[in-house]
């Protein structure tokens, strides 16, 4: 049985300059924009709901992370949360494209929304300008105890772990994608490490690198190919300093019964199964460079 949560719905960002961030995410990243009365900006990459929310605030940071909840399994998940003694606050018609959300917190107090998407609403179109990602793919959060947060996601939300780097960096899935969430033990728990947009293929990653360079947006790390997850990656910062990953080729585990990822020529194991990786440069990047100093701090 898979999780009642079928994908990452959106990441909600607090920002002191909504218009600057809207411009970046529409003109550079290629999301489409629509507004709400409270000043929040909703940005989509196709689909029925938002991929990002921009919330006016004094300082930048993440407000919450939301997952799309399969409507016919909603009561199943609520019963599961009750059995785990997780407090749930429910709101209806809370956001455009979402008919109902259930607000919860994980064991470290990070805000999570479980969103039932309005499937009667017209889907957002893809932008004609910018990089134009296929979807928002995953979000990584700094934690005090990755092990404790992983336990919460397993018990309460029925996620499964795909890989660990040592005992400090976990990758978890709720669908066929290798990971929808990452958790890394760090010196500033509760803060987001990065979120990621999936691109079509390697040519789209190259084109995205060129597009960023033309705007003098410098890479933090990449291009490269991660060992864990095996995706091509690049990382850069948005105008508020949030780290944005652009990726493709992420491992997929299309059969939980088989228990291994779809074979790829760059895999290090055959078959490639979930495991604990020894922390070394190759687990971070098969192409050699293990990343800038302090990147996981």
pLDDT value at residue 1: 63
The domain tally of the chain equals 2
* 139 and 104 fall within a common domain: no
Tokens found for residue 145: 């105890």
Burial degree of 171 (CB within 10 A; 0-12, 13-18, 19+): buried
* 241 and 167 fall within a common domain: yes
Identify the bridge partners of residue 262 per DSSP, sorted by sequence position.
none
* 279 and 144 fall within a common domain: yes
204 part of a folded domain: yes
pLDDT value at residue 155: 97
Q: Determine the structural domain holding residue 191 and report its residue range.
A: 135-283
Q: What is the pLDDT of residues 77-129, one digit of tens each?
A: 999 999 999 999 999 877 777 899 999 999 999 999 999 988 888 888 899 99
Q: Last residue of a domain, which of 117, 144, 167?
A: 117
Q: What is the pLDDT of residues 107-117, one digit of tens each?
A: 999 999 999 98
Q: How far apart are CA 70 and CA 257, in angstroms?
A: 21
Please, are residues 62 and 12 in contact by the beta-carbon 8 Å criterion?
Answer: yes
User: Coil, strand or helix: which one is 98?
Assistant: strand
289 part of a folded domain: no
Q: What's 177's DSSP letter?
A: B
Bridge-based pairing of strands 89-95 and 169-173 is unpaired
Average pLDDT over residues 154-171: 97
* 11 and 109 fall within a common domain: yes
* 275 and 145 fall within a common domain: yes
The gap between the terminal CA atoms of the chain, to the nearest Å, is 35
* 53 and 188 fall within a common domain: no
* 186 and 257 fall within a common domain: yes
* 143 and 272 fall within a common domain: yes
Q: What is the pLDDT of residues 192-205, one digit of tens each?
A: 999 999 999 999 99
Average pLDDT over residues 60-64: 96
CATH number at residue 172: 3.10.180.10
Burial degree of 87 (CB within 10 A; 0-12, 13-18, 19+): exposed
**42-56, 223-237, 264-278: segment of lowest average pLDDT:** 42-56
């Amino acid at each position: 049985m898979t999780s009642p949560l079928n994908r990452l719905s959106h990441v909600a960002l607090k920002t002191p300059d909504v218009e600057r961030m809207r411009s970046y995410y529409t003109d550079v990243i290629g999301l489409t924009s629509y507004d709400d009365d409270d000043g929040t900006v909703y940005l989509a990459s196709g689909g029925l709901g938002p991929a990002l929310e921009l919330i006016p605030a004094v300082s930048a940071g993440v407000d919450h992370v939301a997952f799309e909840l399969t409507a016919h399994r909603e009561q199943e998940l609520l019963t599961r949360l009750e059995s785990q003694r997780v407090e749930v606050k429910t709101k209806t018609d809370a956001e455009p494209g979402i008919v109902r959300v259930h607000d919860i917190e994980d064991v470290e107090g990070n805000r999570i929304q479980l969103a039932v998407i309005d499937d009667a609403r017209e889907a957002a179109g893809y932008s004609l300008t910018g990089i134009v990602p296929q979807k928002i793919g995953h979000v990584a959060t700094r934690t005090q105890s990755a092990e404790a947060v992983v336990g919460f996601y397993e018990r309460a939300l029925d996620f499964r772990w795909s890989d660990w780097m040592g005992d400090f960096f976990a990758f978890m899935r709720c669908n066929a994608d290798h990971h929808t969430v990452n958790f890394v033990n760090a010196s500033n728990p509760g803060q987001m490490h990065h979120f990621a947009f999936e691109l079509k293929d390697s040519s789209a990653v190259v084109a995205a690198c060129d597009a960023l360079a033309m705007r003098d947006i410098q890479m933090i790390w990449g291009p490269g190919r991660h060992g864990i997850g095996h995706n091509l990656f690049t990382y850069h910062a948005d105008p508020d300093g949030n780290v944005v990953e652009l990726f493709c080729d992420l491992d997929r585990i299309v059969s939980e019964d088989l228990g291994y990822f779809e074979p790829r020529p760059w895999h290090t194991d055959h078959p490639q199964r979930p495991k604990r990786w020894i922390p070394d440069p190759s687990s971070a990047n098969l192409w050699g460079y293990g990343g800038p100093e302090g990147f996981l701090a």
